[in-house]
Amino acid sequence: MAKDITYYLDDKTGLWKKEKGSEFFFSRKELTWIKSRIVFILPAWDYNNAISTEKANEVLNTFLSAGKQEDEIIPRRYFSNDNDIVFAVDILGNEYYVNPDKSLKAAPKGTVDPLWGGISEEDAGISSSRRLMDRKHYIAFFAALCLFLSGIEYAIPKPLPFLRLGLANLPVILSLFVMKRRDTLWLILLKILGQGIITGTLFSYVFLFSAAGSFASGLTMLALYPLCKKSLSLVGLSLTGALANNLAQLAMARLILFGTNTRYIAPLLLITGLVTGLLLGIFTEYFCRKSRWFAQILAEKSLQAAV
């Protein structure tokens, strides 16, 4: 054996060697050295796991004498991102999502960011369990986002008190992808109450317009969402939600405020709703394609479904 080779013996993974900057793992399943595509040997191994050439020869002969071990587990490193989603990468370069029970689900190449911090196998199980519990906070998070966008929307001048740009509908649309239908309904209710509190209209007729429009829009999008991946884009989903919102508000205006004169504000309301619905749909489409944060949430949803 060459002198420029350093050998390591790890209690969990087995025999390793480092040669000319590359790392190799001795596979007891294949009975051969496998080159690692990731950095696996830790700096601490130089002090705690390094062994002599003679010791490496002895271990290698023991492995060869024992024959192939079909139940061998390929060594892997674990990583966690800022959202406590846990990933694993094995020495062959394969990437995985880690379920809370530590089972693995294949992930697309490039999912794991090299800048994410590595964690131990034990911590991987803890982080996965914590991530699973954090899903219960989705309603609160999206509701807070609705309130934030409602505050921005409230500061923008409007020609009529019940006209809205629909910014707060963005979290509602996103929630359709990651939350259950009943949770989205809770989100819509919290959005309506929050908007009423922020704008000071909770006990006024304006609140009735907001409630009617939000419920009509939310229920319409909930009903149409199953078609979104097949024949309806997010732009179309946003437009139908905006149309349902406007029609509900026009119905309320006719019943309690303007009567037959509602026809005079209908064109303005419908045109405004279609324009804002189109712009919101385009932005949502772009956001869903480009946002790494949202992609991680979708990945977490797939993990939840796999458990």
DSSP of 12-36: TTEEEEEETTEEEEEETTTTEEEE-
* Pair 272, 207: CB distance under 8 Å: no
Residue 255 corresponds to which tokens in the numbers above?
């019943």
pLDDT at 136: 61
Cα(295)–Cα(251) distance, rounded to whole angstroms?
38
Is residue 87 within 8 A of residue 111, CB to CB? The reply is yes
pTM comes to 0.57
DSSP one-letter string for 232-283: --HHHHHHHHHHHHHHHHHHHHHHHT-GGGHHHHHHHHHHHHHHHHHHHHHH
pLDDT digits (tens, 9 = 90+) for 10-62: 988 899 999 988 999 999 999 999 999 988 998 889 888 999 999 999 999 99
Q: What is the mean pLDDT of residues 59-85?
A: 86
| pLDDT tens track for 77-122 | 888 876 667 888 999 999 998 876 677 888 888 888 877 777 777 7
Dihedral, CA of residue 253, residue 256, residue 261 and residue 267, to nearest 10 = 0
pLDDT of residue 133: 43
Interval 237-285: pLDDT, tens: 999 999 998 899 889 888 887 888 888 878 888 888 888 899 999 999 9
Give the per-residue pLDDT at 240: 92
Q: Bigger pLDDT: 225 or 34?
A: 34
Laid out side by side, the sheet with 95-98 consists of: 104-106, 95-98, 86-90, 76-80, 117-119
